[in-house]
Structure 1
Amino acid sequence: MLSQDKINRINELSKKSKTIGLSIEEAKEQTKLRKEYLESFRSSMRNTIENVKVLDPQGNDVTPQKVKEAKNKKYLN
């Protein structure tokens, strides 16, 4: 998870870019922070999806095969 300081900085840079604009250094920092945020988000989402088990109303496991394979691959590595 991304630290709250970094999230706050992303928001500051976003507001500044909409009002007065960013310097070249700030634009590079914004790009770097956004990339880091997206990597963190994707990792978290992937982890959530890999730990999901889908059940139908009768209680049968209907988890998609792709999710099962990803989970098995994760635990084998």
Structure 2
Amino acid sequence: MLSKEKIARISELSRKSKSTGLSIEEAKEQSALRKEYLETFRATMRDTIESVKVIDPAGNDVTPLKVKQAKKGKFLN
């Protein structure tokens, strides 16, 4: 999870970019923060999807094979 301070800084730089523009250093900082945010988001989403178990109304496990394989691979590593 990205800290609240970093998320606030991303928002601050975005507002400044739209209003007055960013210096070269600020643009680099914004790019690095966005990259870190996306990496964190993707990792969290991947963990969420891999932890899902789908059950049909009859009570059968119908989790997609790809999710099951990803889950097994995660525990083997």
**1:76 offset after TM fit, Å?**
0.6
Give the TM-score of the pair, scaled to structure 1. 0.98
Structure 1 consecutive aligned stretches of length 4 or more whose deviation exceeds 3 Å: none
Instruction: Flag structure 2 segments of 5+ consecutive residues without an equivalent.
Output: none
Paired-residue identity, %: 73
Paired residue type of 2:72? N
Q: Does the alignment pair 1:42 with 2:42?
A: yes
Instruction: Flag structure 1 segments of 5+ consecutive residues without an equivalent.
Output: none
> In structure 1, how many angstroms separate the alpha carbons of the residues matched to 2:43 and 2:71?
14
Give the TM-score of the pair, scaled to structure 2. 0.98
Q: How many residues align?
A: 77
* Partner residue, 1:62: 62
RMSD of equivalent CA atoms: 0.4
> In structure 2, how many angstroms separate the alpha carbons of the residues matched to 1:5 and 1:75?
33
